[in-house]
Amino acid sequence: MFRRGVVLLGAIKKPKFEHSTNFQSSYEQLTGLEIKIPVPWGHIAGKWWGPTNIRPILTTHGWQDNCDSFNRLLPLISQDVGFLAVDWPGHGYSSHIPDGFYYHNTNYMLLIQRLVDYFKWSQVSLMGHSLGASISFLYTIINPQNVDLLICLENIKPLTEDIITTNSERIAKFLHYEKLRRQNTEPHAYTMEEIKRKIASFLDGSVAYEHSHHLVERSVAPSKSHPGKYCFTRDPRLKVLDLVNWRQKDLVLGARRVRCPVFIAKATGVSYFEEENNVHEVVDALKESGNCEHHLLEGTHHFHFNNPEAVAGLIKKFLKQRDRSDRSVGGIKEEMIVYS
């Protein structure tokens, strides 16, 4: 039986909800507790890992991934603090944004604030990979007083690029995908083997094939026209990159405003996707506070997914030494839980 491509292995009966205790079963501690949070255009889906009775670390994934990209990392570090890993809009099980709207980085920052308001968090702890890391960084530099901890994996800032010459092309491309969406035609269908290989080929083989199945469940649904095949369910408009750019000098000045503990991990086998010095300038500005640690690790863009053990120990040590957050208020809400 399928639910948007997810193979349901049998209903899991959960204990009665009690806000004051962590009620996750041993199965959910390994797979995450499925959640859904209302937003004006639908809902944000995700998973809650670890203790549910305290404020978690809000965790966000990379471009065209989903929250299952943390499936192999979070079980290694969620024993003492919870992690709320969400699907960005248009990704995974989260609702797509309405027709006529664009997937701007500013919309992602607004979502973080919506989640903060939903939980009534006085402060927020952030962890992100790739796109999730750059959005977490942007939110931190505009709200430095509201962020008590920042973990960035494989990225730290949005790209500083010349978008003047590319915006016209991106607008045309976006309108093309929007038109296809309105026509409601089924996307191209693939066999499951083809799906896994397409996921594994992303960014020149960034995702290890043997682990690619983790990203499948929240990314595909059975084809209605081709039995035995599957279609990607993420919003095709996501293929168009952002129209809005940030000036390098503003990112550096913003980094100097950050006072919370910052953890950065970058893979040595991956380019910076822009001038390397732009990234170093921002990292150096963060280090001026004396509260930032920067690690270079072997691996691909998805090193946290392919080899989570390499970074899990560093994150656990970082949290043990630097996390002084008050997490007593802001645990899970019963209305969020998706009961099988």
Q: Which residues are catalytic?
A: 130
What distances in angstroms separate CA 147 from CA 138, 229, 261, 302, one per listed residue?
A: 11, 44, 9, 25
Cα gap 194→232, rounded to integer Å: 11
Using CA atoms, how far residue 316 sits from 49, 115, 155, 261, 327, in Å, is 15, 24, 19, 13, 16
DSSP strands (E only) in the chain: 2-3, 6-7, 33-39, 42-49, 57-60, 83-86, 124-129, 147-153, 220-222, 230-232, 262-267, 292-297
List, in sequence order, every residue forming a beta bridge with 150; answer none if it has no partner. Answer: 126, 262
End-to-end Cα, the chain, rounded Å: 13
Which alpha helices (H) appear in 143-191, and where do they start and end?
Answer: 167-183
C-alpha 223/C-alpha 274 separation (Å) is 38
Q: Which two tokens stand for residue 78?
A: 């969620």
Alpha-carbon distances of 326 from 73, 112, 125, 323, rounded to whole Å: 24, 19, 10, 9
Query: Which residue's structure tokens are 């499925």?
Result: 34
Ramachandran region of residue 10, left (φ > 0), alpha (ψ -120 to 50) or beta? left
Look up residue 243 and give its two tokens. Answer: 């129209």
Q: Retrieve residue 39's tokens.
A: 């937003």
